[in-house]
Structure 1
């Protein structure tokens, strides 16, 4: 397995958040897998009113949601909080129900990570339901075209690998790809293996087959199902990983 560890939080501030956007994405996947929070489920909502609230600068003076988050449909390019389109791209590809996405968005409005800089209940009641409904109806659709070709670098982006794996050695939800190829990897069963082509291919094609020590099964496979990636594309990804020194 390449991805895995349960992240400590979902949102963040400034450059710190951008550096840990993988943790945000993985936390969303874990939320899908384990159920949403304790504020009650989303129950419909007006997407048109939700869009107005998302783009409005009067919701949370002097800025609106778009000043912190990127969302293509809203024309929002904020870079302080997570890029919502990128965060939900893979779950769109996995065909999660819109109602599931709506509940996750609503929970994040109600319970943002402590210290993230985002106030809890920035919008409340029906307004929160409307924002969640709007975001869920459009998020990720601009980027969720499932690519079956391109280079390994293209696949690294389109499959959402960058959400959990860094290229510069920075610690994230999953192991960094920097100098991964050819390195020694200790598995959860105590065995140490070499990250050669065969190991990397197996980790992509069957994410839970071998679990890296310190990580949990089921996180990567919640996004990339076993054998979802074709052998041809898996080989392209391995070729890309081999270049990251």
Structure 2
């Protein structure tokens, strides 16, 4: 049954890919930036530098398909279909990105999933690598996919709202003997050290201390505290 489903998806992807003949070429740089921003908090994709664990690793998901000779157009079609029709019961919302944005994300994933190496040129600077101010970093790191923060224009519901983080950081930090800055920094680099009541451990990916520079973390902390 699983093999038949995979074959059906592959055939569907071929139809989708074929129907795009003569249309615009996907923008891989934009696709990477959108993937990191909207998808990376839940999915691992090595070339994008994302470490999400809520959803499947996209490198692992397409590793066997690559070995079997599946081409990038077919993979892009499968990804595009899954964006529009996520697995029933998953936390992934349908159509997280739409239209050309979805095509760009699917094309980038198809370009790099289960492919060794590192992005080069303009692709290397897309997403987190080129982010310098706090809002940029928050968006590029994909935080908005899980957290609501009005100042960043995000409305994620998987994690707690960050609209009142300054007050929460004072309250929870005081209880732990930490300043608000220390509390927020620890929440970024060690997300399971303290979990807000009502939310589960293990949802927020770890590793931001490796994905972000010290300067980026400093800027993100200041932004989150409204400074």
Query: TM-score, normalised to structure 2's length?
Result: 0.51
Deviation at 1:177, TM superposition (A): 1.7
Query: Do the aligned residues in 2 keep the contact of 1:88 with 1:139 (CA within 8 Å)?
Result: no
Counterpart of 2:17 in structure 1 is: 52
**3-state DSSP of counterpart to 1:150:** coil
* Equivalences, count: 170
Q: How does 1:188-203 map to 2 (within 5 A)?
A: 196-203=180-187
Deviation at 1:179, TM superposition (A): 2.1
Counterpart of 2:110 in structure 1 is: 137
Distance 1:107 1:52, change over 3 A: closer
Counterpart of 1:213 in structure 2 is: 197
Query: Do the aligned residues in 1 keep the contact of 2:148 with 2:162 (CA within 8 Å)?
Result: yes
Deviation at 1:94, TM superposition (A): 2.9
Deviations 1:167-221 (A, max 9, x none): 139561111221211326888xxx9558711100111111121122111222212
Counterpart of 2:59 in structure 1 is: 98
Deviation at 1:153, TM superposition (A): 1.1
Partner Cα separation in structure 2 for residue 216 and residue 84 of structure 1: 24
Query: Do the aligned residues in 2 keep the contact of 1:186 with 1:213 (CA within 8 Å)?
Result: no
Counterpart of 1:152 in structure 2 is: 134
Q: Which has the higher contact order (CA 8 A, sep 6+)?
A: 1
Counterpart of 2:223 in structure 1 is: 240
Query: Do the aligned residues in 2 keep the contact of 1:181 with 1:195 (CA within 8 Å)?
Result: no
Unaligned runs of 5+ in 2: 52-56, 63-74, 96-105, 114-118
Query: TM-score, normalised to structure 1's length?
Result: 0.48
Deviation at 1:241, TM superposition (A): 0.8
Alignment of 1:175 onto 2:163: no
Query: Do the aligned residues in 2 keep the contact of 1:39 with 1:110 (CA within 8 Å)?
Result: no
Question: Of Structure 1 and Structure 2, which has the larger fraction of its residues in helix?
Answer: 2
Deviation at 1:97, TM superposition (A): 5.0
Partner Cα separation in structure 2 for residue 53 and residue 231 of structure 1: 45
Query: Do the aligned residues in 1 keep the contact of 2:127 with 2:141 (CA within 8 Å)?
Result: no
Unaligned runs of 5+ in 1: 1-37, 57-65, 77-82, 119-132
**3-state DSSP of counterpart to 1:98:** helix
